[in-house]
Every structure is written in structure tokens, then in C-alpha cells.
Amino acid sequence: MQRLITNSVKILLLFFLVLILQACDRFLKPQNQLQKILDAGVLKVGTQYSFNTYYQGAKGPEGLEYELAKGFADHLGVALEVYPHYNRTSLYPLLEQDHIDLIAVGIAKTSNQERFKFAPSYQRASQKLVYKQGIVRPKSPEDLDGKLVIAEGSGFEDWLTSNEQAQSKWRNIDWKISELEDVEELALNIQSGALDYTIVDSNSLAVLRRLHPNLSVGFTVVQEQPLAWALAKHQDDSLLAALVEYFGEVNDNGTLAVLMEKYFGHIKEFNYVDTKAFLQAANQTLPQYQAWFKKYSSSIDWRLLAAMSYQESHWNPKAKSPTGVRGLMMLTLATAQELEVNSRLDPEESIRGGAQYFESLLRRIPERISSPDRIWFALAAYNIGLGHLEDARVLTQKLGGNPDLWIDVKKHLPLLSKKRYYRTTQYGYARGHEALTYVSNIRRYYDSLIYLTEKQP
């Protein structure tokens, strides 16, 4: 009996010893980076304040990097903590000292391979020498005759630091780095004539030229490079593996394409004359009608309504098209009568009618379509009618696209003018390519009005 008790005690002791060893193993064995994030329930992301990266909008944080980072945190099932800085170089030591988990800024992979690990590339950009239109165009660094200032932490600075051949070429060029001015401020200085040259990445330049049309490109300083998020070199690859999975997922399901369309899809083409005319009209003509746009905008942003009006009539209350639509909002006679607009040439009446009509279109877009896509669909319907818009959505679905995504439907709108397609639609022929241009123009005007009225990104 005593022997049985002794054996039982030994078994219990052995069992507890195994438990203790397992606990010690878990305590002593270092966790990988991803597991630490999952256990803490928080993903810490460093990013940069910028009009196309991260900023506080009217309804909270906005920007391409923010939306991607929020998507990644949701993918992991953790909360997102954002640590925004005014230049990317101040984020580097935070990453290397493990105060943040990653840097969500488009950093050129080829210029920084020695310093960081990189997530999959999601964007590309080149570096452009920018000057004010009207002076002699520089075609190479040797042609620069004036002051060249570059924002701290720019892609150009990264490229130059890692490229010995480039360093020798730029050694004799007079240039400096500004710690206090960002890319947008330097662009403003060029527009005003206070600065001769700066270097800007091509994605930022596409946005800036909508606000400052006198910005011209002298030459390409750095050819297009892939951009990606940066991770600490000393960390294991667990977080990197999760990012590879995430970016593969958003590529496959179209989320990345939708975000790129949202932030850059409407600014690829630049028209100097149109941009100059719009900015002048926004300064001189819009104030006459701004109070009415605000009064009748209801749930719509008044600046969107104003952008529509500029696209329709260039804010000319007497405007008239060959098809008979008239006024600031270019209403048809039938629509005006339905909305009890007594005179389409009366600016206030036209704005009221246009706002009511656009709101009615918004309500008729399927509820499952989220913003901003439902807004772009309603704009297209304002131009070509709901029937033709529905035809384009049906065509999109038939041809393998998603009828609820603007990025897919806008590719198929031009097919409404091709016989092989419109003969199969319910409402027949339509100038779908014009609706596409119509929406893109309004989006650009709207972006500009947001900037001009808020004086900030």
C-alpha cells in the first residue's frame, strides 16, 4: 500500500514538473513579432502627415495609408494605433527601437534595401524636378540656375544617400533640405515665385498640380520605383508574412484597386488651361452663389454641388446647351417643371432644383453601394440618366466586373456608344465616355474646393 502511495506521489510530482517546465518554456521562449501584436491586441503604425497619406478629415482620419493600415489591423483582428509625424525620417528610429511595428508610408524599396525589410509593393512613383511655368525649363541638374530646396525625408534624399554615382553628380549642385516646410509648402513657394526649384514624387505632384497649375516638370530625377511599407530589419519575418497575405488578399478582392481609384483615379490627366480657369472662377465667381449652394445642399457637401455646377455651366446662370438644358445646374425643362422651378435662369431656383434632383438620384442608387462610389454613380446618372447607368452596370456584370464598384463600371460606360453592346441594353445608345469625363472632372473640382475652403489637406 505504501509503495502504491509512493508511486502516486512520484507520478504527481512528475506531472507538476512537466507543467512547470512547459510554463518556463513559454516564459523564456521569445514570442515572434506577430504574436506579440496579437497578444497586445494593438498594431502600432507610424505614418506621415500628407494630403495623400494621412490627415484628419471632417469625419475622422483619412488617406490611402490610413485606410490600408486600418484594413490590415482589421485583418489581424486588433486595434490600430497611428503615430503620425511630419516627415518620414523621424519615424525611422521609432521603428528601429521597436516603438512602432511598421511604417505605413510609400518608401522606395530600391533605395532602402539595406536599412529595412519591405512589405509587398502597392504603388510606384518617380521623382520630378519641379519649377514655375514661364522660366527657362531645366533639362538636367547642370541647367539649374537658382535656389533648390527639398523637403526633409523625401524619396530623393533616400535615393541620393544610397547612390554613390548620384552623389558625385549632385555634389556640385547648390541645394538644401528644409526641415520646416513639407512638399505642399515648397510647391506653394514655387507658385508664388519665392523658390526656384524643388523635387516632388510623381503621385504628390499629380495632386498638387490641381491646386497649383503653374507647377511644371523640368526633368525626371529618379526613375519610377516600387513603393512599400517598411519593417525593422532586426525583427523576425512573422509580421512580414502576415503583410504578404494581406496585400495578396486586397489585390485579389479588388480593395487595393478601389482605394487607388478613390485617391488617384481622377487625377491622372492634367489640363493646365482648365485648371487655371477653374481656380480663377472659384476665387471671383463662386462667392456670388456660395450661400445658395450651402442653403440647398441638405445632406450633400455644398462643395460637391458647386463642383457639379461648374462642370455643368462654369457658374454661368445664363448657360444653355444645344439640347435645351439651361441655367447654373443645366436642368431640362421637364425636370424643372417636376421640381417646380419657375425659371431655370434664376440662379437660386436652379441650385435648389439641381440639389433636389441630385438627392433623388442618390436615394435611388442601391443602398448596398457604399460611399463614395454611390456619389460617383449618382453623378453619372445626373449626366446620362439612371436608365443608362443601369445599362452600364448590367454590362459590367455580364463582362465579369462588379456592378457595385465605380472602378469597374467606369471601364464599361464607354461601351454604351458601341453598337455591339448598346443594341443589347434596355435604353440603347448613350455617350458613356462623356459621363466618365463628367464624373472625373467634378471629382477634381470638388477636391480643389475642399482645399480652397479649408486651406489644408
Which residues are identified as catalytic?
A: 312
HEC letters along the chain: CHHHHHHHHHHHHHHHHHHHHHHHHHHHCCCCHHHHHHHHCEEEEEEECECCCEEEECCEEECHHHHHHHHHHHHHCCEEEEEEECCHHHHHHHHHCCCCCEEEEEEECCCCCCCEEECCCCEEEEEEEEEEECECCCCCHHHCCCCEEEECCCHHHHHHHCCHHHHHHHCCCCEEEECCCCHHHHHHHHHHCCCCEEEEEHHHHHHHHHHCCCEEEEEEEEEEEEEEEEEECCCCCHHHHHHHHHHHHHHHCCHHHHHHHHHHCCCCCCCHHHHHHHHHHHHHCHHHCHHHHHHHCCCCCHHHHHHHHHHHHCCCCCCECCCCCECCCCECHHHHHHCCCCCCCCHHHHHHHHHHHHHHHHHHCCCCCCCCHHHHHHHHHHHHCHHHHHHHHHHHHHCCCCCCCHHHHHHHHHHHHCHHHHCCCCCCCCCHHHHHHHHHHHHHHHHHHHHHHHCCC
Q: Are 222 and 155 in contact (CB under 8 A)?
A: yes
Please count the residues of the chain.
457
Return phi, psi of residue 66, to 5°.
Answer: -60, -45
Give Cα 272 to chain centroid, integer Å: 22
The strand pair at 102-108 and 123-132 is best described as unpaired
Other Cβ atoms closer than 10 A to 120? 17
Distance between CA 127 and CA 204 in Å, rounded? 10
Q: Is 264 exposed, middle or buried (0-12, 13-18, 19+ CB in 10 A)?
A: middle
Question: Which residue carries 547642370 as its cell?
Answer: 142
Q: How far is CA 285 from CA 33, 280, 282, 289, in A?
A: 56, 8, 6, 8
